[in-house]
A and B are shown apart, each in its own frame.
Chain A
Amino acid sequence: MNSSKSSTVATPLAQSRVAERVRTGYRTKTRTALAAHGQPYVWLAGGMLALSLAMILGLLTLILVRGTGTFWPAPVIQVEMVDGRIHMGEITRHSSYVPREELLLALPAQAMGAARALLAAQDGVSERFLIRTGNFELTQEHFNWVSDFAINSTSYPQWALLFERQEWGRFYGMPEAFLIDGERVATTPAEVWGKLNEHHRDVRRRWQERRALETHEIGKINYALEQARLQVRGAELAVEAAEGRDGKGSPAQQKALLHLGAAQAGLAQLSVEADAEYGRLRGEINRINQENARFEILVTTADGRERALPLAQIVRAYTPNQLSLGEKFGIYFDRWLEFLRDDPREANSEGGVFPAIFGTVVMTLIMSICVVPFGVLAALYLREYAKAGPMISTVRIAVNNLAGVPSIVFGVFGLGFFCYLMGGTIDQLFYSAKLPSPTFGTGGILWASLTLALLTLPVVIVATEESLAAVPSSMREGSYACGASKWQTIRRIVLPRAMPGIMTGMILAMARGAGEVAPLMLVGAVKLAPELPVDGYAPFVHLERSFMHLGFHIFDLGFQSQNSEAAVPMVFSTTLLLVAIIALLNIGAILLRNRLRRKFMTSQF
C-alpha cells in the first residue's frame, strides 16, 4: 500500500486504479489483443507480397504464352461472305462488338434478315475475326476483319497452301500448277505439292549461294577497293600536309607525291582486277538467277486470281490444313530456329533477330567489362582510402543520385561526349582519310557500351562499397598485424572476400544495362544493321559499327512497323527472347558468384 500513498494524484478514481494495478500486477490480462499478435499485419504484408508476385507472374505468363504462340502454324480458313467476297487466311484474333446500323444496311437485301436474326439471338453483339489474308501485292491488305453476321459459309480447304516469302509477306492460295520453264509439269494439287518439295530445297540452296556471293565475295572486293581508296586519300592528305609545312618542291613533298603515285597505281590496278572479278561474279549470279527462274508455282487465290510465285522467293511453304501434330511441331521449331539464326526481313516483321541478339550480348559484355573495374576502383577509393568527411558524403550522395538520372540524359551525354567529342577526335587523328564520313564520330557499339557503363556505374559502386564495408574489420586487422600494407590487405584479403558482392553489383548492372533502350537510340542502336560488330575482316572486331539491340527491336516492331498486326506477335516473341537472354546472362554471373562464394565465404560456427 506504500505505492498508493506516494501517489501524488489523490482523486478516488486514480487511487482505485493504482490499487487495482498493485493487486493484479501490471502484466496480467486474460487474452492478448489481436493487434498485439499482429495477425492482421502479417496478412497485410503477406498479401502485398502475393500481389507483387501475382503481377510478376502475370507479366511473365503473358509474355510466355503470347511469345511462344507466335510461331505455331494455324489452320487456314476460307470464309465466304454474304456479299460474295471470299477471304482465305489464318485467324489471328477475335473480339466482340456491337455493329452499327450502317453495317447491316450495307449488307445485300437477301442476307439482311438472317443477319438481324443472328444478332438478335446474340443480344445485338457480334463476334468478329481478324483474318490474316496476306497476298499484299494483289489486295493491298495484310489483314481483314470479318463479322459473324456477314459470313455466308466457312471451310478449311484441304489443299490451301501457305507461303512465307522473301518479300511481300505471306501468300495464301490453292496450287494450280507447277511450272518449269513456263511449262505445266504438274496440275493436280498433290502433284504440284510433290514437285514443290522436290525442287524447293535445291532452289533455295542456290539462292543462298547467290546471296553469299553478293554479300561476301562482292563485299570483299568492295572492302579491298575501299582500303585502296583510303590509302590514296591518305597519301593526298600527306602531300597537302608536306606542302603546307615545307612548301612545294621540298624533298618531303616529293616523297609524299611518290607515295601518292604508288597508291594511285595500286588503286588503278586493283580497279582493273576488281572489274574482272565483278564480271565473273555477275556471270555466276546471273547463271544462278536464270536457273532459279525456271521454277515457279502457279497459285490461285481465294477470289480466283492466279499468280506465279518464283520458287526462289519462297522461304517456307506448307499445307496448313493437312498437318499432323509432328509436322506442326516441325514447322514451329523451324520457325524458332529461323527467328534465332537469321537476319530480319520485311522491315523486321519477319525472319530472324540474330543481329539483335548478337548486338545485345556483345554490348552487355563490353559494358560489364568497362563498368566493373571503374566502379570497383571508385568504390575502393571511397571506402578504403578517402578520409570520411563532408566531401566524401557529398560524393556518395552524388553517386547515389546518379542512379536516378533518367537514362535518356545519359544518352544525350553519350552522344555529345563519346560520339562527337571523343569519336570526332579519334576520327581526326586516325581516320582522317575517310572524313567527312565519320568512323568513330557517330553512334556505335563501343559508345553505346560506354554510355551504359556510365549509367550502371552507380549500381556497381554502391554494391561494391557495401560489400567492402561488410568485410569484417577483424580480418583487415589480422592482415595489418601480419605486416601487410594497406594495398596488400585490399588485394589479398578485402577484394577476394568482397568479390561475391562485387559480382552482385555486376549482375544488377547487367540486368539494368541489357534492358535499357532509350539512351541506345542516340548512341548507336539502329533498326537494321546486318553487319555484325565482329566478323571476318581485319581487325575482326569493329567497335565503331552501329548495331541492333533486342530492346530497340521491340520498340521498332511495336511502334514503327508498317504491318503492325503481323508485328505484334513478333513483339512478344522478341520480348520473351530478351527476357530469356537477360536471365541467361544473369544465371551465368550468378553461377560464377556462387563459385567465388564457396571459395571465399565457407564458414562454420
Chain B
Amino acid sequence: MQLNQTQVTTNGSPELLKKRSMDGRLKAIAAGEWFEPAVHPDLKQQDVVLEITGFNLWYGAAQALFDISMTIPKGKVTALIGPSGCGKSTLLRSVNRLNDLVDSVRISGDMKLNQDSIYARGVDVIELRKRMGMVAQKSNPFPMSIYENVIYPLRIDGVRDKAMLDEVCEKSLRGAALWDEVKDRLQQSALGLSGGQQQRLCVARAIAAEPEMLLMDEPCSALDPIATSKIEDLIDQLRGEYTILIVTHNMQQAARVSDNTAFMYLGQLVEYSPTRTLFQKPQLTETEDYISGRFG
C-alpha cells in the first residue's frame, strides 16, 4: 500500500503538473526543435573579445551544440549556466580547441578571437591556445615545482631569462592571490598544495602568459566553500583586467561573480543577458523556472 501511494504522488502531483506546463520551450528543445535565443540588447553593442557565430558541434553522430551565436565582451566575466550535459563545457573547450583532442568531434560555424578566426583552415592551434588561459574543473598542477608550474607557458616558449621568469612567477602568483602562501616554498612540488591552493596555482599558470581571455571550467566544483570563496574573490579581482568566460553549475556563483550570464539547455543557447537582468527579470519564463529551481 505504501508503494502505491508514492506512485500516485510522483505521477500526478498538482505541483509537478504545473511545472510541466511552464517549461514548454524546454520540452520542445528536448524534442529537437530549435529556437532563436533571447539575447539582451545591451550585449550586442559591447567591445567584443570573442565572437561565436553559428557554431555546431557533433560527438560522432550525436549533436552537442546547436547553432550557438554569442559575443563575449571585453574585460567582463561571462558565466555559462545550465543543467548537466547542456554543452556549456563543450562550448568552453571549443574556444581553445581542446575538443580537437577527441577523435570523433566535428564542428561547423566559426569563432573569432579579437577578429582572428579560430576554426579557419591553417590556424596554428598551438599559437591560438597561447592567447588563452584555461582553468580546469579539477585542478591539474603538473608534476613539478610550484615555480616551474607557474612559468610553464614561458618554458615551452623557450624563455630562459631567469630574472624575467622570476618576475612573471611572482606577478602571476600575486595575481592569483597565492604568493604569500607559497613564496617560501616555490621549489617544492606543486602536488603538495591543498586543493584550493592547487586551483589558484592553475589560475596563476593561466594568467602567466597574459592571455587575451581566461576560460574557467567549473573551477570550484571540487573545492570546499572556503576555497570556493577565495577563487570567487580572485575572479572578482581579475575582472576588468581579463576577459573571463566561466562555466558553473552553481547559479548563486554565477549571480555573485559574473557580469553577464548565458543559460544553455541541451546544446542550445536559451537566454543571454546581463546577470542582474537574467536573475531578476529574465526574458523567458523557462529561464526563471530554471534559476528558481523549478526545473532542472
A-B contact pairs, 14 of them (CB 8 A): A2-B4, A472-B140, A474-B140, A477-B98, A478-B142, A479-B142, A480-B129, A482-B130, A482-B153, A483-B130, A483-B156, A485-B156, A600-B143, A602-B192
Q: Are B142 and A483 in contact, CB atoms less than 8 angstroms apart? A: no
Q: Which of B96, B136, B156 contacts A484 (CB 8 A)?
A: B156
Within 276-293 of A, Cβ neighbours of B (below 8 Å) are at none
A493 interfacial contact with B, CB 8 Å: yes
How far does the alpha carbon of A492 sit from the alpha carbon of B130 in the complex, in Å? 17
Is A211 positioned at the interface, with any CB of B under 8 Å from its CB?
no
Tell whether, in the assembled complex, residue A481 and residue B152 are in contact, meaning their CB atoms are under 8 Å apart. Answer: no
Chain B nearest CB from A562 CB (Å) reads: 58
Q: Are A481 and B96 interface neighbours, CB within 8 A?
A: yes
A370–B60 CA distance with the chains assembled, in angstroms = 42
Does B144 sit within 8 A of A, measured CB to CB? yes
Closest Cβ neighbor of A600 among chain B residues: B143
Q: Which of A388, A477, A599 contacts B136 (CB 8 A)?
A: A477
Residues of A within 8 A of B192 (CB): 602-604
By size class, the interface of chain A is 20 to 34
Residues of A within 8 A of B194 (CB): 604
Q: CA A601 – CA B144 in complex, angstroms?
A: 9
B168–chain A nearest beta-carbon distance, Å:
13
Q: Please state if A481 and B98 are interface contacts (CB–CB under 8 Å).
A: yes
Q: How close is B113's CB to chain A, nearest CB, in angstroms?
A: 13
B283 nearest CB across to chain A (Å): 34
Q: What residues of chain B lie closer than 8 Å to A483, measured between beta carbons?
A: 126-127, 129-130, 153, 156-157, 209
Do the beta carbons of B140 and A475 come within 8 Å of each other? Answer: yes
Asked if B163 is at the interface (CB within 8 A of a chain A CB), the reply is: no
Cβ A482 vs Cβ B156 within 8 A? yes
Question: Is the pair A481, B143 in contact by a Cβ cutoff of 8 Å?
Answer: no
B98 to chain A, nearest CB (A): 6
Contact with B along A324-349 (1 / 0, CB 8 A): 00000000000000000000000000
Known: A482-B156, A483-B209. A605 touches B143 (CB 8 A): no
State A475–B156 Cα separation when bound (angstroms): 15
| Complexed CA–CA distance, A482 and B140 (Å) | 12
Q: Are A602 and B189 in contact (CB under 8 A)?
A: yes
Partner of B191, one of A480, A485, A604: A604
- A477 in contact with B140 (CB, 8 Å): yes
Least CB separation from B132: chain A residue = A481
| A142 interface residue per 8 A CB criterion | no
Instruction: For the complex, give the distance between the alpha carbons of A472 and B138 in Å.
Output: 11
Give the residue name and chain of the A residue nearest to B189 (CB). A602
Q: What is the distance, in angstroms, from B267's C-beta to the closest C-beta of chain A?
A: 21
Chain B proximity of A489: nearest CB distance (Å) = 9
Which residues 171-225 of B have a CB within 8 angstroms of A? 189, 191-192, 194-195, 202, 205-206, 209, 215
> Which residues from chain A contact B282 at a C-beta distance below 8 Å?
none
Please name the residue on chain A nearest to B152 by beta carbon.
Answer: A482
Q: How far is the CB of B141 from chain A (nearest CB, A)?
A: 8
Residues of A close to B126: CB separation below 8 A: 483-485
Determine whether A165 belongs to the interface, using a CB cutoff of 8 Å to chain B: no
A475 in contact with B191 (CB, 8 Å): no
Question: B156 to chain A: which residues have CB within 8 Å?
Answer: 482-485, 488, 492
Per the bound structure, the CA–CA distance linking A2 and B155 in Å amounts to: 72
Nearest CB of A to B124, in Å? 10
B residues 106-153 in Cβ contact with A at 8 Å: 126-127, 129-130, 132-134, 136-138, 140-144, 152-153
Contacts of A475 in B (CB 8 A): 140, 142-143
Closest chain B residue to A489 by CB distance? B156
**Considering only CB atoms, which chain B residue lies closest to A598 in the complex?**
B189
Contact mask for chain A residues 462-486; partner B; CB cutoff 8 A; 1 contact, 0 none: 0000000000101111111111110
Collect the chain B residues with CB atoms within 8 Å of residue A476's CB: 101
B1 to chain A, nearest CB (A): 7
Q: A234 within 8 Å of B by Cβ?
A: no
| Complex: chain A residue closest to B96, CB-CB | A481
